[in-house]
Amino acid sequence: MTDRLDGKPVAAAIDARTRDAVRAGAPPSLVSVHRGVDSPFRFYLRRQARAAESVGVAFREAALGPTDGPEELVARLRELDRDPSVHAVLLEHPLPAPFDFRRAISELRPEKDVDGVGAVNLGRLVSQRPTHVPAVARAAIAIARHYRLPLEGEPVAVIGRSETVGLPLAICLAGRAEGMHATVTIAHSRTRDLGRSLAGARTIFSCVGQPGLLDREVVPEGAAIVDVGLSSVPDAAAKGGFRAAGDADPVVLDGWASALSPVPGGVGPVTVAELMSSAVRARDLLARGGSSG
Ligand code: NAP
């Protein structure tokens, strides 16, 4: 029997704390910057708007125009950084060329870089003094903690090493915060033998975006899986002809993995809840005049 690591109760607990925190000051404001109507980010934006309304965060979108390029994006972020009414800014990522995500995000002061993906925030995370930690990493960890998955002192694997998802998550898990101290293996596309790298792992965090990657061949029996991967796969029976899928194959892993977070309904809702919580943190940090870093 494989336990289902449902994200909804985890998100609900985070939202309850966020609502209390929101009331302790001025309404936090979050701006989500994206490329416009064609962006695959749109689905995530709708979720952000709903979650913000539910916890009391003032949310708005800042969409680039159809002819706007990298310079306009940089100018938009510079403007938002200067705007005292804005506490937190999220920038769509990944961004296609010619946009330069790194250059654009560097326009934000670390307190406003709410997803913690700018160079300063990633550096602070490595130095164990984070200002903001990427919401998806916090979400994956929140699920693992809620369901008491083996972490501290245990062999844990992270598959994926992007600087916005896999790597920050691995740094958190290996870090010195309470309940972390995991012994972390990081696998990626150049890993020669994924099954050998995962052998012995008690908890696996998969951050790839490749449906079916995790099956009985590579997952050690009894491991728990937090599935961060999110892909859209054709499905004639689904509304619109597509459905969301994670990296793990839930059918073949049923009865093999000890626990698995579903996609959808696992990491996704918790990520949005963590983002709202970070927006409140941004408000508080700015009110105190910044982070100590
Ligand atoms: P990404 O930048 O494309 O990174 C994917 C990572 O997977 C890379 O490190 C890549 O290795 C590795 N990889 C690719 N093929 C592999 C293989 N066969 N075996 C092992 N590793 C492999 O994607 P991302 O932005 O990190 O996002 C990862 C996944 O998380 C995506 O599915 C994304 O949609 C999802 N996501 C979900 C949420 C949520 O809220 N649920 C939020 C953010 C992201 P290399 O480094 O060698 O290329």
Per residue in 69-117, pLDDT (tens digit) is 999 999 999 999 999 999 999 999 889 899 999 999 999 999 999 999 9
CA–CA gap between residue 278 and residue 228 (Å, rounded):
19
Residue 230 resides in a domain = yes
Residue type for position 199: A
Q: Is 56 left (phi over 0), alpha (psi -120 to 50) or beta?
A: left
On whether residue 119 sits in a domain, the answer given is no
In a domain, 192, yes or no: yes
Q: Which tokens is 291 given?
A: 């982070």
Tell me, yes or no, whether 30 lies in a domain: yes
173, 180 Cβ separation under 8 angstroms:
yes
Asked, for residue 75, whether it belongs to a domain, the answer is yes
* Centroid of ligand 1 to alpha carbon of 79 (angstroms): 31
CATH number at residue 79: 3.40.50.10860
Domain membership flag for residue 181: yes
166: Cβ below 6 Å to ligand 1?
Answer: yes
Give the position, in ligand 1's atom list, of the atom nearest the Cα of 94.
25
Of the CA atoms within 13 Å of residue 210, those in its CB half-sphere come to 10
197 lines ligand 1 (CB under 6 A): no
Q: Are residues 40 and 109 in the same domain?
A: yes
Is residue 229 domain-shared with residue 106, that is, in the same domain? no
Read off the CATH number of the domain in which 221 is found: 3.40.50.720
For residue 68, give every residue at least 6 positions away whose Cβ sits within 8 Å of its Cβ, in sequence order, or none: 76
> Is residue 264 one of the residues assigned to a domain?
yes
Cα–Cα distance list, 233 to 27, 127, 236 (Å): 38, 39, 10
Structure tokens belonging to residue 269? 């809702």
Say if ligand 1 is within 6 A of residue 187 CB.
Answer: yes
Percentage of the chain lying above the pLDDT 70 cut? 98
Same domain? 99 vs 195:
no
Q: Is the pLDDT of residue 293 over 70?
A: no
Total residues found in the chain within this entry? 293
Instruction: Mark out the alpha helices in 147-266 (DSSP H runs).
Output: 166-174, 194-198, 250-253
- For the Cβ of 271 lying below 6 angstroms from any atom of ligand 1, the answer is yes
With 0.85 as the threshold, say if the pTM is over it: yes
Helix 42-55 to helix 267-287 angle (10° resolution) is 60
Is 80 exceeded by the pLDDT of residue 42? no
- What gap in Å lies between CA 21 and CA 15, rounded to an integer? 10
Q: At which of 114, 147, 171 does a domain end?
A: 114
User: Is the preceding peptide bond at 98 cis, omega within 30 degrees of 0?
Assistant: yes
| 258: containing domain | 135-269
Please determine, for residue 275, whether its predicted confidence score (pLDDT) is greater than 70: yes
Residue 289 lies in a domain: no
Q: Determine if ligand 1 sits within 6 Å of the CB of residue 192.
A: no
Do 57 and 160 lie in a common domain?
no
- Is there a cis peptide before residue 94, judged by omega within 30 degrees of 0? yes
Model confidence at 181, in pLDDT bands (50, 70, 90)? very high
At residue 281, does pLDDT exceed 80? Answer: yes
* Whether residue 263 sits in one domain with residue 142: yes
pLDDT at 204: 99
List the residue whose alpha carbon is closest to atom 4 of ligand 1: 162
> What separation in angstroms does the CA of 238 have from each of 153, 173, 232, 244?
42, 36, 11, 10
Q: What are phi and psi of 225, to 5 degrees?
A: -125, 125
Mean pLDDT over 210-224 rounds to 98
Distance separating alpha carbons of residues 21 and 211, to the nearest angstrom:
37
Same domain flag for 91 and 156: no
Q: Domain total for the chain?
A: 2
| Mean pLDDT value of segment 4-30 | 98
Whether 159 and 102 share a structural domain = no
Ligand 1 atom 5 nearest Cα: 208
Do 139 and 106 fall within a single domain? no
Q: Does residue 110 sit in the same domain as residue 143?
A: no
What distance in angstroms lies between residue 99's CA and the mean position of ligand 1's atoms?
Answer: 20
**208 CA closest ligand 1 atom index:** 7
pLDDT, tens only, 44-60: 899 999 999 999 999 99
What residue's CA is closest to ligand 1, atom 42?
136
pLDDT (tens digit per residue) in 114-156: 999 999 999 999 999 999 999 999 999 999 999 999 999 999 9
Report the pLDDT value the prediction gives residue 46, as an integer from 0 to 100. 92
Q: Which of 223, 221, 191 lies closest to 204 in space, CA to CA?
A: 223
Residue 230 near ligand 1, beta carbon < 6 Å: yes
Confidence (pLDDT) at 43 = 78
Is there an atom of ligand 1 within 6 Å of 232 CB?
A: no
Quote the ligand 1 centre to 113 CA distance (angstroms).
21
Q: Is 265 found in the same domain as 144? A: yes
Using 50, 70 and 90 to split pLDDT, how confident is the model at 40? low
For ligand 1, the distance from its centroid to the CA atom of residue 84, given in whole angstroms, is: 34
Q: Check whether residue 62 and residue 165 sit in a common domain.
A: no
Q: 10 Å Cβ neighbour count for 215? A: 14
Angstrom distances, CA of residue 221 to CA of 10, 118, 167, 199: 25, 37, 25, 9
Q: Is the CB of 201 under 6 A from ligand 1?
A: no
| Residue owning tokens 């938002």 | 80
What's the confidence (pLDDT) of residue 38? 64
207 C-alpha to center of ligand 1: Å?
A: 5
| Same-domain status, 109 and 139 | no
